[in-house]
Amino acid sequence: MGRKNISKRLRSARTSQVLFGDVVYEPGSSFGPRVQADYQLVVLEEGSVIAKVEGRGLPIGQGQVALLLPGRTEEFTFAAERKSHHTWCALAPSLLSADLIEACACVPPVLPVSRRLAQLMEMGLSLPRLAETSSPGLVAALGLATLQEYLFTGRREQAPQADEPDALRRAIEWVGMDGHQAVDLAALANIAGVSSAQLVKLFKRHLDTTPLRYVWSMRTRRGAQLLRETGLTVGEVAFRCGFQTPFHFSRWVKQVYGTAPKSLRAQAWGR
């Protein structure tokens, strides 16, 4: 099959429908031709590869991810001057709904790797072997979530004017992923890559709020979820969600939900 396929498999997690894999190819390696059987996401961690799909070259560089579709003939040529390290997630066509299959045919074949996609890939690769047999649904869920993240990124790339500007998106993503850390307007603007004044304008124009009000609102909603779903004390929830004091958290819960944290939990628990 391969003219020069010198590779080293690192990690993997598999079920009958999903496979997460991690492999390193030596310089100048090649692989194929083969007919793709699955919906496969290929993430280049290091190096590069040219995937020839149905005779057409598809370059994939470091920090990019490609979506390969089933039924197509593929051949891969890896960088000649350095090792190429890539991870992948393959999903059996039987796992996808008709809507997902249609969406896969409409997105770009190569995209930048989003932070969420990288995290989902790492979660899939880090699953213990026991999960493959005892929790196959977990492996499948991670595979589908990874594909959904690719499709989400693809739709956003195709309609940038209909979505938030990049700076606003970076700020929102930070709040969603690392929003428990201390932050002020200047720090959030630095994360977004714009001035404080410009960030204020972006939040006002697109979300009709201020950056810090958005931060505390999202942290309050995250805290409310912890109140409903865990037995953590109000103080523990407050600190986990980045509030300076339990009083600060309680004040925001009352503002957003109209009641105190303990009352909010009591309502959720039917007390």
Report the alpha-carbon distance of residue 213 to residue 248 in Å, rounded.
13
Question: Given this model, what pLDDT does residue 93 score?
Answer: 96
Q: How far apart are CA 267 and CA 121, in angstroms?
A: 37
pLDDT at 161: 45
Question: What is the distance between the alpha carbons of residues 205 and 203, in angstroms, rounded to a whole number?
Answer: 6
Is residue 246 located within the same domain as residue 156?
no
For residue 249, the model assigns a pLDDT of 94
Whether 135 and 160 have beta carbons less than 8 Å apart is answered as no
Note the residue count of the chain: 271
101 and 187, same domain (yes or no): no
Predicted confidence at residue 49, as pLDDT, reads 94
**Contacts made by residues 134-141, CB under 8 angstroms, sequence distance 24+:** 136/15, 136/16, 136/17, 139/13, 139/14, 139/15, 139/18, 139/20, 140/15, 140/17, 140/18, 140/95
Give whole-number Cα distances, 70 to 1, 35, 38, in Å. 18, 7, 5
**Residue 144 domain-assigned?**
yes
Tally of structural domains, the chain: 2
Give the pLDDT confidence score for residue 151 in this predicted structure.
94
d(CA 67, CA 108) in angstroms, rounded, equals 8
149 with 35, same domain? yes
- pLDDT the model gives residue 1: 44
Residue 25 pairs in a beta bridge with: 7, 84
Query: pTM to 2 decimals?
Result: 0.61
Indicate whether 122 and 76 sit together in one domain. yes
Domain stops at, among 133, 160, 187? 160
- Check whether residue 200 and residue 260 sit in a common domain: yes
Query: Is the alpha carbon torsion for 259, 264, 266, 270 positive or negative?
Result: positive
109: CATH = 2.60.120.280
Which residue positions in the chain have pLDDT lower than 50?
1-2, 160-163
Residue with tokens 């969603």: 176
Q: Write down the pLDDT at residue 162.
A: 42
The pLDDT value recorded for residue 247 is 95
User: 6 near 109, Cβ under 8 Å?
Assistant: no
pLDDT at residue 6, rounded to an integer:
59
- Tell me if 35 sits within 8 A of 73, measured CB to CB: yes
Token couple for 113: 């790797």
Which of 160, 176, 198 finishes a domain?
A: 160
Is there a single domain that holds both residue 128 and residue 250?
Answer: no
Instruction: Identify the CATH number of the domain in which residue 190 sits.
Output: 1.10.10.60
Residue whose entry in the numeric block shows the structure tokens 């005892």 = 134
Out of 111, 135, 160, a domain closes at: 160
Q: For position 2, what pLDDT does the model report?
A: 45
Task: Give the range of the structural domain holding residue 188, as residue numbers without chain letter.
Answer: 166-268
Annotate 194-207 with DSSP letters as a single string.
S-HHHHHHHHHHHH
Per the structure block, which two tokens stand in for 9? 């498999």
Is 58 in contact with 66 (CB distance < 8 Å)? yes
Residues 134, 238, single domain; the answer is no
Same structural domain for residues 84 and 98?
A: yes
Q: What is the pLDDT of residue 17?
A: 92
| pLDDT tens readout for residues 97-151 | 999 999 999 999 999 998 889 999 998 888 877 777 788 888 899 999 999 999 9
137 and 248 co-located in one domain: no
Rounded Cα gap, residues 15 and 139, in angstroms: 7
- Same domain (yes/no): 257, 140: no
What 3-state DSSP class applies to 230?
coil
